[in-house]
């Protein structure tokens, strides 16, 4: 944690000015530990904005290496990073942006074997993955460890975001029970516009800051959806499912 100095006051001045933040809120952010699972299209804006906001410890999980086809949307990586582990490439950019913060990298997939230990070191998780099993895994561990997680999904010109806080509203498995069919469209079959991931990732970063500071109204119990092609957004109310295999039997 950095000592407060003129430099920190200047760096974070636009945060500190915000209602509900102030110096105390900024200190809280600097003491916060957030895990970002995935450093791709969503992970890029999430990590950039959380690092810039001064989240004191950022964990990055990703097993992939930077590929040319990533650069159209994964803006934390550059042409010079091709072939480099994504977490390394991302960590370099984040430390260049803000050396106050600590970046911890996990260049491996999140698995049943390591998820409890990795998530155990953080207070909030941002899901920036692109697959159902990992989201289910994050949900199960976060529910067990009573930690909030911010879900985001993008496809083609559409995206959705929701915040899950154990004990407050539904969990991911209340809404998404079964793995999508193998024939369901994915970003590798029908594409994704980079800016769509930018919009959804930015909302996830904003939700994370709100939850950490306990300000505003988080997207709990309502799914925010947006179609950028038609430029229409909506909010769908979602309730807890008493038969949910993850949160159903407890309160
Ligand atoms: Zn549930």
Per-residue pLDDT for 40 more than 80? yes
Q: What are φ and ψ of residue 3, in 5° steps?
A: -75, 145
Q: How remote is the CA of residue 138 from the centroid of ligand 1, in Å?
A: 13
pLDDT, residue 197, reads 98
Q: How remote is the CA of residue 250 from the centroid of ligand 1, in Å?
A: 10
Give the span between the Cα atoms of 122 and 32, in whole angstroms.
8
Q: How remote is the CA of residue 173 from the centroid of ligand 1, in Å?
A: 5
Q: How remote is the CA of residue 124 from the centroid of ligand 1, in Å?
A: 18
Share of the chain above pLDDT 90, in %: 92
Average pLDDT, the chain: 96
Q: How remote is the CA of residue 176 from the centroid of ligand 1, in Å?
A: 9
pLDDT, residue 3, reads 61
Q: In this predicted model, what pLDDT tens digit does every residue of 123-170 receive, in sequence order? A: 999 999 999 999 999 999 999 999 999 999 999 999 999 999 999 999
Q: How remote is the CA of residue 72 from the centroid of ligand 1, in Å?
A: 35
For 201, residues 6+ apart whose C-beta sits below 8 A from its C-beta are 41, 42, 43, 44, 45, 46, 49, 128, 152
Per-residue pLDDT for 1 more than 70? no
Q: How remote is the CA of residue 195 from the centroid of ligand 1, in Å?
A: 31
Give the span between the Cα atoms of 24 and 20, in whole angstroms.
9
Q: How remote is the CA of residue 161 from the centroid of ligand 1, in Å?
A: 16
The CATH architecture that domain 8-237 belongs to is 3-Layer(aba) Sandwich (3.40)
pLDDT, residue 66, reads 98
Q: How remote is the CA of residue 248 from the centroid of ligand 1, in Å?
A: 6
| Confidence tier at 4 by pLDDT (50, 70, 90) | confident
Q: How remote is the CA of residue 50 from the centroid of ligand 1, in Å?
A: 27
Which residues sit opposite 162 in a β-bridge?
A: 151
Q: How remote is the CA of residue 148 from the centroid of ligand 1, in Å?
A: 13
pTM above 0.95, yes or no: yes
If we measure between CA atoms, which residue out of 89, 247, 226, 227 comes closest to residue 162? Answer: 226
pLDDT, residue 251, reads 52
Is-contact 222 238, C-beta < 8 A? yes
Share of the chain above pLDDT 70, in %: 98
Q: How remote is the CA of residue 221 from the centroid of ligand 1, in Å?
A: 11
- Residue ranges of domains in the chain: 8-237
Mean pLDDT of 205-228: 98
């Amino acid at each position: 944690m950095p000592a407060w100095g003129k430099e920190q006051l200047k760096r974070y001045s636009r945060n500190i000015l915000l209602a509900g933040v102030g110096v105390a809120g900024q200190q809280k952010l600097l003491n916060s530990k957030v895990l970002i699972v995935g450093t791709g299209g969503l992970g890029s804006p999430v990590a950039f904005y959380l690092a810039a906001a001064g989240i004191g410890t950022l964990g990055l999980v990703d097993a992939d290496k930077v590929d040319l086809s990533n650069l159209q949307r994964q803006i934390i990586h550059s042409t010079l990073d091709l072939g480099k582990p994504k977490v390394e490439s991302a960590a370099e950019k984040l430390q260049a942006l803000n050396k106050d913060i600590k970046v911890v990298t996990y260049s491996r997939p999140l698995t049943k074997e390591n998820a409890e230990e990795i998530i155990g070191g953080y207070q909030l998780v941002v899901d920036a993955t692109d697959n159902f099993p990992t989201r289910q895994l994050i949900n199960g561990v976060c529910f067990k460890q009573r930690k909030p997680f911010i879900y985001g999904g993008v496809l083609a010109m559409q995206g959705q975001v929701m915040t899950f806080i154990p004990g407050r509203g539904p969990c991911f498995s209340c809404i998404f029970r079964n793995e999508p069919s193998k024939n369901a469209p994915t970003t590798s079959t029908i594409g994704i516009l980079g800016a769509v991931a930018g919009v959804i990732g930015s909302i996830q970063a904003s939700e994370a800051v709100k939850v950490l500071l306990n300000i505003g109204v988080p997207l709990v119990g309502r799914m925010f959806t947006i179609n950028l092609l038609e430029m229409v957004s909506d909010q769908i109310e979602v309730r807890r499912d008493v038969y949910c295999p993850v949160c159903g039997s407890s309160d």
